[in-house]
Amino acid sequence: MPPRVPPLTLSLTLIATLGGLLFGYDTAVISGAIASIDANFIDPRGLSETARSSLSGLTVASALFGCVFGGAIAGTLADRFGRRTTLIVAALLFLLCSIGSALPELGLGPIGGLGPDALLPFNVYRIIGGLGVGIASLVSPLYIAEIAPAAVRGKLVSLNQIAIVIGIVGVYFVNWAIARTGDEAWLHAWGWRWMFASEAIPSLLFVLLLLKAPDTPRWLVMRRRDDAALAILGRLGEARPQQTLREIEASLVVSREPLFAFGRKVVIVGVLLSVFQQLVGINAVLYYAPLMFQNMGASTDSALWQTVIVGIANVAFTLVATFKVDHWGRKPLMLWGALLMATAMLALGSLFASQHLGLAALAAMIVYIAGFAFSWGPIVWILLSEIFPNAIKGKAMALAVAAQWIANLLVSWSFKVLDGNSVLNAAFHHGFAYWLYGTMSLAAALFVWKLVPETKGRTLEQMQEVWGRPAPAAALGVAEAGHAR
């Protein structure tokens, strides 16, 4: 019988997952607006092929500059001001981004009157939203991991990834619905603005709900507020709140240890998990799916609808990870997912190169998304919230998440350059990038097989044993009691 999740734990988890939903919504909303951004801000500049593709790619990826910085400072903010307060800051950044991206001319001139000059403020607002994404990408799963019982921690943290993909597929639906409201001229003039403005609704809801949420017991212990931590542990349904409190205190005795206090391997593994999650090409697919389907011969409306199908597959297979990650373990799902992604991407590249597209190409894309959704999508975030010992968690997660966003920026910018290169397209017919992502997926499988530990069933305090440091006495007592039973 699966363990029961206390009502407060579940409700706080769902609130925190709104950070994941906005993460997905903010990063994918631009997929429906790329053609309009090009038409309004880039095409009038009369640039060369490479310069045009590069500027367009940087515009699509501009939010990622904010993500890098947001991810880098999120751990420090979360440790200093608390997980809850840091999430409120992220929610306000999302709200500002949604309004500013929709109306980049606001305060600078008439709406629609700046022409290509509106590109700079547009990118500034996208970077502000990226700050929110970078912060939420670290703090939402961290918040959930710190309030969840070990027996269901993987399942609850993976709800954040479900929220991310719901945000992605939700904005695909929104973009598709808005695009159908008018013709192409209306879409380029006003439709794209409504796409960005729609993010204001979940952003405001996130702020309001967080105002009523408590902070996590582990952060309260870090701030020497043991009584408050004990009260929250009781409300979260901990069977032995006093013992859990002692376990947390023992793990935080060395909270000021340097980043490499447990050796370099744990940090390197965490960073490579983040980097490989991006090098397999997922955000090229999420950002450019409509363009990819247009390259397959689909119309604008059909391409947006096929993008919705990909989003639905993303949600469906993320649910597989949610219900199986605590049963099957993290490592097997990661390994099989990487192999499935490699197969799908290599096949897709071959289909493009041979110009045999149609349903086979759509099927390959869905298989790729399925492979990512039940493995590298949710489980990387679970592992990042688990593998780092508490004494270095804030610094190590900040480094890993910043590395992830740098890799995301590289992939997102380079896809537009690779896909828009006439020399590569003459030789590979838009297939080169997919072969590259397939190769990276094979490398990711080898990395997991050789270096990534299994974390299933371990408490956060016991994780330092994996890296050669004895666990705190309280944590060892819990483990021994569990074995005795």
Q: Tell me the per-residue pLDDT of 9-68, one tens digit each, with 9 for 90 and over.
A: 888 889 999 999 998 899 889 888 888 999 999 999 888 888 888 898 889 888 888 988
pLDDT of residue 262: 75
| pTM for this prediction | 0.73
d(CA 335, CA 237): 34
pLDDT of residue 76: 86
Examine the pLDDT at 474 and tell me if it is beyond 80: no
pLDDT mean across residues, the chain = 82
Cβ–Cβ contacts within 10 Å for residue 167, how many? 26
Over residues 308-315, mean pLDDT: 78
pLDDT of residue 49: 81
Coarse DSSP helix, strand, coil percentages of the chain, rounded to the nearest 5 percent: 80, 0, 20
Percent of the chain with pLDDT over 70: 84
User: How many angstroms separate the Cα of 261 from the Cα of each of 150, 201, 392, 395, 475?
Assistant: 24, 43, 8, 11, 19
Contact 63, 127 (CB under 8 A): yes
Examine the pLDDT at 484 and tell me if it is beyond 70: no
Residue with tokens 């961290």: 142
* Lowest pLDDT segment from 169-178, 265-274, 294-303: 294-303
Which residue would you say has higher pLDDT here, 221 or 296? 221
Over residues 282-302, mean pLDDT: 71
pLDDT of residue 485: 38
Examine the pLDDT at 299 and tell me if it is beyond 80: no
Q: Which of 257-266, 288-297, 341-350, 470-479 has the highest mean pLDDT?
A: 341-350
d(CA 116, CA 109): 13
Residue type, 241: P
d(CA 22, CA 100): 16
Sign (positive/negative) of CA torsion 144, 148, 151, 155? negative
* Lowest pLDDT segment from 10-24, 89-103, 234-248, 446-460: 234-248
Contact 330, 455 (CB under 8 A): yes
pLDDT of residue 42: 92
Domain spans in the chain, listed from the N-terminal domain onward:
8-215+253-454
Q: What angle do CA 123, 129, 134 make, to 5 degrees?
A: 120
pLDDT of residue 92: 97
Q: Which CATH class is domain 8-215+253-454?
A: mainly alpha
* All residues at 6 or more sequence positions from 422 whose CB lies less than 8 Å from its CB, including other chains: 49
In terms of Cα–Cα distance, which of 2, 1, 477 is closest to 240? 477
